[in-house]
Amino acid sequence: ADIVIYTSICDVNRINLDLRKGRGDYYALQKYFSDKILGMDTADPSSFAPDTDGLKDKKPGLFGWIDNDMRTIDASMVNEELHSNPSILQNCETVEMAFKGRRDILCLTTKRIFWIDKKGLKGKKIKYVSVPWSSVKAFGVSTKGGGFDNDVEMFVHTNVNDIFYPPREGDNPPPPPEPRMSYLECSLVAANVDILAIKRYMSERCILAGDDANMLSDTLSSEYILKKSPSTSAGSFLDWILKDGTAINPEVINQKLHEEHPILLQEEFVIMAFKCGRDMFVLTNKRVIEMDRKGLSGKKTAWISIPYSNIHAYSIESAGNFDRDSELRIFGDFYWYDDRPCRVIKQDMRKGSVDIIAVENLISKVVIGGMKAESVAVESKAGSQSAGGFTSFSAMMKDSSAELDPQVVNEQFHNDPALLQEDEVVEYAFKAVRDMVIYTSKRCLIVDRKGITGKKVEFLSIPLKRCKGFSVQSAGSFLSKGNAAIISNTSGIGKKDFNLNESVDIWNLQEFFAKKLL
C-alpha cells in the first residue's frame, strides 16, 4: 500500500510512504492524518444533508459510461457507508453531496473533497484522495455547451505544486504538462445534477474556509444554497450578457446572479462588474468571479471564483492613464490556471469601461484593509531634498533623488494616484534606478516602469504579512551597485530584487527591514 502526502514545499511536493501488506492498519493511519490535518475528532456528526434520501441511482447512457461522467447519488447512504466498519470519515464529518461514475465515487463533506478511485480490472485496489477545503484556493463550474455536449464540470485549484512535466522523447516536442493534484476536475451528467447548486455549495465551503479548516465543522449547507436553480437560468443570462455595452450596473448583475443565475451566497452582493469582450469580471464583497465563455459558440461557460482571503498580492498596470488600457494581475497560492501552469491571473481591462484605481482600492480594502497599521520610525535623509513636494506622479518619478521623503510620497499616493488607504502611512521610500519602492504601514508597493519610454507603469502591492525575509548588499568594486531584496511566500513573486543608487543608505534600509519585518 502507498501513502502520499502532498505539500506546497518547493522540491518536496510529494512525500511517499510504502507499507507492506498486512504490516499496518491503513485506515487507522488515514484517520490519524485526518485528525491532524482536518482538526481533532471531537465534534458530533452532523445530521444535515442535501435532500437526496431515497434517490434512485440513474444509470448513465452509453456515452456517459464511456466518458465516466458522474451522477448524483444518495449522500446519506454514502455517509452511512463511510462511517461503518471500517470507518473512513471522522465522527464529526458528514457527506453532504455524493456523485458516482462507472466505479469511482466523489464525496463533498463538511471538511474536504473525498475521492474514492477504484484501480485495476477487478477494482480491488482502492485509492482514497482527500483535499481539505482550506487547500482549495480557487474553484468553479462549467455549464454544458451546445450540440452533443451534455456534460458539466466542477473543478478546484489547490495550493499543491504538483505539476508534472513529461520528458521529451527524441526530436519530438515535449508533451504538455500535467496538473495532477494542482488542479482537479470532475465531469458530471448535466441532466442529473444542479451545477449552480454545486457552485453555491462550493462557495460556502471555500469562502468560509479561509486558512482554517476547523471552522467548517459547525457550518451546514443552507436552504438557499441547496435550492433548485431555474431551468432556463443559463440561457437567459447569456442572452442578457451578450447585449451591446461594456459597463454593467452592479445592482442589475447582483439581481441576476441571485435570481436568474444564482451562484452568489445569500449574504453576498456585487460591488463592481464589467465586460471584457464576451467574458465578464465581477467583484463582490467576498470574492473575484470570472465568467469565461468557451469555444466558438460561447455556450459553454466557466464560472471561476477566487476568495479574497486567497489573494496574496495584486497589481494594476497602466499605459499612463489610470482608467483605460489597463491590466489587473492577481497572485495567489495556486499553480495551474487556464489549462496551463500559471501562478498569476491576468485580467485585461482594455475592452471594458473600468476605473482601474477603483478596482485597486476595492481589492486593497478587502485584502489588506483589516491589517493593523503599526508604524515604524526610521530617520530619513531625504526631507531637505524634497521640501517643495511634487506636483504630479510623473515629476516624482523623474526626480533624481534616491531616498525619498516619506511625507511627500505619502501625500502624493493619497491623491494622484490615490492608491493608499486613509489609515495607511508611507514609512520609507527610495528609488531603484527608474523604479520606486515604497513601504507603508500595511504593504510593500513597487512601482515598476516598463518599456523604453517608461510610460507603462505597474503598481504591485505585497501585503507585509506575505513578506518573509529580506537582504541588503553594499556596492562592490568598479561599476557595481548596491542591492536590496524582499522575499515573499507568494507564488509567482518569490524574491524581488532592486538595484540601489549610491545615495541610498543601505544600513538605514537594513534597520527599517529589521524593525518592520522582524
- pLDDT over 80 at 315, yes or no: yes
Tell me the C-alpha distance between 38 and 13, whole Å.
19
Highest mean pLDDT among 111-125, 171-185, 204-218, 273-287: 171-185
Tell me the C-alpha distance between 329 and 167, whole Å.
31
Q: Are residues 64 and 196 in the same domain?
A: yes
Residue 329: what residue type? R
Looking at residue 333, its pLDDT comes to 84
Does 332 map to a domain? Answer: no
1 exposure class (CB count in 10 Å sphere: 0-12, 13-18, 19+): middle
Does 375 map to a domain? Answer: no
Q: Are residues 398 and 508 in the same domain?
A: yes
Torsion of CA 178, 181, 182, 187, to 10 degrees: 80
Question: Which residue, of 291, 307, 323, is where some domain finishes?
Answer: 307
Question: Which residue, of 307, 329, 352, is where some domain finishes?
Answer: 307
Highest mean pLDDT among 343-357, 457-471, 490-504: 457-471
Domain of residue 55: give its range: 2-166+174-307
Helices (H), 11-74: 26-38, 62-67
Tell me the C-alpha distance between 419 and 435, whole Å.
17
Long-range contacts of 404-407 (CB under 8 A, 24+ apart): 404/380, 404/429, 404/430, 404/431, 404/436, 405/380, 405/429, 406/380, 406/382, 407/383
* Listed residue (177, 131, 173) closest to 156, CA to CA: 131
* Listed residue (318, 313, 339) closest to 494, CA to CA: 313
pLDDT tens for residues 212-246? 433 333 333 445 444 555 655 555 555 555 543 36
Looking at residue 144, its pLDDT comes to 85
- pLDDT over 60 at 48, yes or no: no
Long-range contacts of 254-257 (CB under 8 A, 24+ apart): 257/282
Residues 6+ apart with CB under 8 A from 280: 241, 248, 273, 274, 290, 291
Q: Does 90 or 319 have the greater pLDDT score?
A: 90
Looking at residue 459, its pLDDT comes to 92
Tell me the C-alpha distance between 330 and 343, whole Å.
9
Weakest mean pLDDT among 86-90, 212-216, 329-333, 394-398: 212-216
Tell me the C-alpha distance between 145 and 187, whole Å.
13
Q: Are residues 302 and 392 in the same domain?
A: no
Q: Does 9 or 477 have the greater pLDDT score?
A: 9
Does 203 map to a domain? Answer: yes
Looking at residue 220, its pLDDT comes to 39
Highest mean pLDDT among 18-27, 269-278, 368-377: 269-278
**Band of pLDDT at residue 106, cut at 50, 70 and 90:** very high
- What secondary structure does DSSP assign to 70-111, as a single string? BEE--HHHHHHHHTSSS--S-TT--EEEEEE-SS-EEEEESS
Q: Does 21 or 261 have the greater pLDDT score?
A: 261
Does 441 map to a domain? Answer: yes
Q: Are residues 96 and 221 in the same domain?
A: yes
Q: Are residues 195 and 66 in the same domain?
A: yes
Q: Are residues 268 and 409 in the same domain?
A: no
Residue 513: what residue type? F
Number of structural domains in the chain: 2
Q: Are residues 401 and 256 in the same domain?
A: no
Contact 468, 476 (CB under 8 A): no
**Band of pLDDT at residue 47, cut at 50, 70 and 90:** very low
Q: Is 6 helix (H, G, I), strand (E, B) or coil?
A: strand
Q: Does 125 or 389 have the greater pLDDT score?
A: 125
Cell of 76: 446519506
Weakest mean pLDDT among 103-117, 220-234, 288-302, 364-378: 220-234
Does 330 map to a domain? Answer: no
Q: Average pLDDT in the 62-75 region?
A: 66
Q: Are residues 288 and 394 in the same domain?
A: no
Tell me the C-alpha distance between 116 and 100, whole Å.
10
**Band of pLDDT at residue 69, cut at 50, 70 and 90:** confident
Does 313 map to a domain? Answer: no
Q: Average pLDDT in the 480-497 region?
A: 82
Q: Does 215 or 99 have the greater pLDDT score?
A: 99
Does 341 map to a domain? Answer: no
Does 483 map to a domain? Answer: yes
- Nearest 5°: CA angle at 459, between 454 and 464? 145
Contact 330, 177 (CB under 8 A): no
Residues 6+ apart with CB under 8 A from 474: 482, 506
Looking at residue 400, its pLDDT comes to 44
The CATH number of residue 444's host domain is 2.30.29.50
- pLDDT over 50 at 112, yes or no: yes
- pLDDT over 90 at 426, yes or no: yes
Looking at residue 424, its pLDDT comes to 92
* pTM for this predicted structure: 0.81
Q: Which 8-state DSSP code applies to residue 310?
A: G
Tell me the C-alpha distance between 156 and 202, whole Å.
9
Tell me the C-alpha distance between 491 and 480, whole Å.
30
Contact 437, 462 (CB under 8 A): no
- pLDDT over 90 at 330, yes or no: yes
- pLDDT over 50 at 93, yes or no: yes
Question: Which residue, of 268, 291, 307, is where some domain finishes?
Answer: 307
